[in-house]
Amino acid sequence: MVNDKKQVRVWCDGCYDIMHFGHANQLRQAKAMGDYLIVGVHTDEEVRRNKGPPVLTEQERYKMVRSVKWVDEVVEGSPYTTELETMEKYGAEFCVHGDDITLSADGTDTYQIVKDAGKYKECKRTQGVSTTDLVGRMLLMTRANNLSQSSDTGLPSQDEFVSPYTKACNLLQTNSKITQFSSPSNEPKPGDKIVYTAGAFDLLHPGLVDFLEAAKKEGSYLIVGLYEDDVVNEYKGSQYPVQILQERVLSVLANRHVNEVLIGAPYPLTEEVLDHFKIDVVVQGMVHEGDHDSDHYAVARQRGIFKEIDSGNCLKTEDLVMRIIRNRKLFMDRNRQKQIKELNNINRMAEKEKEEKEEHDDGERAGSSGSAVSS
């Protein structure tokens, strides 16, 4: 029997700067609305003009979006304002975006064109995380890095400083989101060569994505162990992790190279983990984040299953933090401008809703009056 069901092609677009689980969740929801997900990613120039300086370069952002397991195709350099012509070029039937508003530099809704054309669908925005929030967390790390700052930077004083990940401490207390991010039929198949690695995987970035891809090539089934926050805090320093464990779990689960995540992995690696998961090879990258006081992979070395691999990308989480800190004035201005823009838009929407309600109420009263006269 011929299956002539039409493939539903879905369009998403965005900056996708500092790829986080909120981005991944939007793409997951969009993919569920169709069969094939196409994601447009804006250039650095477009992002800079409409939103402020990006943390990652456009090439890095293209790579991050391609690494998300729900994405089928990436369109590089897509327009900041979503255009019908672009969607038609790639055969997309509709565009999906979160239920928040994205504005261009002149304050207009970047999705108004597709909304007016009836080719727009909304998905639920993931609460509690945004690129602006993550940039803000890293801005709080300035004092911890002993960098000089002027009194008018607006950064918190030492007394006001809080750990960067406390803002998210009440997030994701159930396993529902983890279940949504997990792949079905996740068990290894007979004959799979099982690879294991572990770390913080804090602020998933192109260096970590390249490492995960290289790790997966050492076998056919990749398990990633994620350390508890206090473990990361101990070996990387008091300002880490930037993201709490639950946030890091979702980001890693969204990666297309990862099959399974071990939440709260033991540090150092234990015999029990190796035996339970029947691990064939344990890998570590050439770039080590933080100070490791001991060989935490000693048991793997003793079994002769340890391997150090070179992904060819030496980018570290600390490098992202330093990008923010070195340009902290630019990023502080970016965050403030975005907050002002969003607040103005919320006020406009509230005023519009008020006017529509008043018009509706006037219509209701006029209708009631007409009925009374006719009776």
3-state secondary structure 256-325: CCCCEEEECCCCCCCHHHHHHCCCCEEEEECCCCCCCCCCCCHHHHHHCCEEEECCCCCCCHHHHHHHHH
Instruction: In whole angstroms, give the CA distance from residue 35 to residue 263.
Output: 30
CATH of domain 9-127: 3.40.50.620
More confident residue, 294 or 201: 201
**How many angstroms separate the first and last alpha carbons of the chain?**
64
**Taking 50 as the threshold, does the pLDDT of residue 150 lie above it?**
no
Q: What is the mean pLDDT of residues 267-278?
A: 97
**Taking 60 as the threshold, does the pLDDT of residue 61 lie above it?**
yes
Q: Residue 367's pLDDT is what?
A: 67
CB 224 within 8 Å of CB 251:
no
**Alpha-helical regions (H) of 51-140:** 58-66, 84-89, 112-116, 131-139
| Confidence bin at 49 (pLDDT 50/70/90) | very high
**Taking 70 as the threshold, does the pLDDT of residue 341 lie above it?**
no
Range with the largest mean pLDDT of 43-57, 64-78, 172-186:
64-78
Q: Residue 241's pLDDT is what?
A: 93
The CA-based angle 40-25-318, given to 5 degrees, is 80
Q: Residue 99's pLDDT is what?
A: 82
Of 24-33, 290-299, 353-362, give the lowest mean pLDDT range. Answer: 290-299
**Taking 50 as the threshold, does the pLDDT of residue 375 lie above it?**
no
Please provide residue 251's backbone torsions phi and psi, each rounded to the nearest 5 degrees. -60, -40
Residue 222 in tokens: 């990749």
**Taking 50 as the threshold, does the pLDDT of residue 371 lie above it?**
yes
Could you tell me which residues are beta bridge partners of residue 95? Answer: 11, 120
**Quick one: what percent of the chain has pLDDT higher than 90?**
58
Instruction: In whole angstroms, give the CA distance from residue 327 to residue 316.
Output: 17
| Confidence bin at 295 (pLDDT 50/70/90) | confident
Q: Is 351 left (phi over 0), alpha (psi -120 to 50) or beta?
A: alpha
**Taking 60 as the threshold, does the pLDDT of residue 330 lie above it?**
yes
Q: Residue 178's pLDDT is what?
A: 81
**Taking 60 as the threshold, does the pLDDT of residue 356 lie above it?**
yes
3 state SS of 341:
helix
Domain boundaries, the chain: 9-127, 163-315
**Which residue type is seen at 187?**
E
Instruction: In whole angstroms, give the CA distance from residue 37 to residue 72.
Output: 5
Could you count the other beta carbons within 10 Å of the beta carbon of residue 180?
13
Q: Residue 298's pLDDT is what?
A: 95
3 state SS of 347:
helix
Of 131-140, 328-337, 355-364, give the lowest mean pLDDT range. Answer: 328-337
Q: Residue 184's pLDDT is what?
A: 75
CATH topology of 9-127 equal to that of 163-315? yes
Q: What is the mean pLDDT of residues 23-37?
A: 97
More confident residue, 368 or 233: 233
CB 216 within 8 Å of CB 257:
yes
| Confidence bin at 342 (pLDDT 50/70/90) | low
Q: Residue 290's pLDDT is what?
A: 56
**Taking 70 as the threshold, does the pLDDT of residue 291 lie above it?**
no
More confident residue, 129 or 266: 266
| Confidence bin at 23 (pLDDT 50/70/90) | very high
Instruction: In whole angstroms, give the CA distance from residue 179 to residue 183.
Output: 8
Q: Residue 320's pLDDT is what?
A: 92
326 DSSP assignment: H
| Confidence bin at 146 (pLDDT 50/70/90) | very low
| Confidence bin at 160 (pLDDT 50/70/90) | very low
CATH of domain 163-315: 3.40.50.620
More confident residue, 305 or 330: 305
Of 69-73, 104-108, 277-281, 334-338, give the lowest mean pLDDT range. Answer: 334-338
Could you tell me which residues are beta bridge partners of residue 36? Answer: 9
| Confidence bin at 354 (pLDDT 50/70/90) | confident
3 state SS of 207:
helix
pTM: 0.81
Q: How much is the CA Rg of the chain, to the nearest whole Å?
A: 24
